[in-house]
Amino acid sequence: MLVFITTYTFGLIWYRLSDFILPTYITSLSGEPEERYWVVKFGLRNPSTVDEPDLMPVFSRLAICMYYMLTTLSTVGYGDFYPFSISEKLVSVLIMVICGMIFSVLLGSLIEAFRP
């Protein structure tokens, strides 16, 4: 249950980050086009220059975000979904480092609990 809640939460954060926060605040600084962001690259939404509705239903977008976060949080990273822009790559590395530290602490606590 904890894995589901964690991937759900981080998936929602990642979607909002790639859909709104990074394009709004970082694009003006770096000059990266909107097409270089994760949600546009993998078809979760159309670029703002296109006057068409979203490509996917909400549940499909949520499932893709949760799948991406599960592979990122576990540091497996299958490669079918990956960060595309430089700012997304930096945030992904930060997420992997933080989750690697959390995993190490939890594993150390588990080992201590079973040590005679």
pLDDT tens for 43-70 read 777 776 666 666 778 888 888 888 888 8
Q: Which domain, by its residues, includes 53? A: 2-114
- pTM summary value: 0.72
> Could you tell me the CATH number of the domain that includes residue 39?
1.10.287
What angle do the packed helices 58-73 and 86-114 form, to 10 degrees? 60
Instruction: Output the CA angle 77-81-85, nearest 5 degrees.
Output: 105
- Rounded to the nearest integer, the mean pLDDT of the chain is 79
> Number of folded domains in the chain?
1
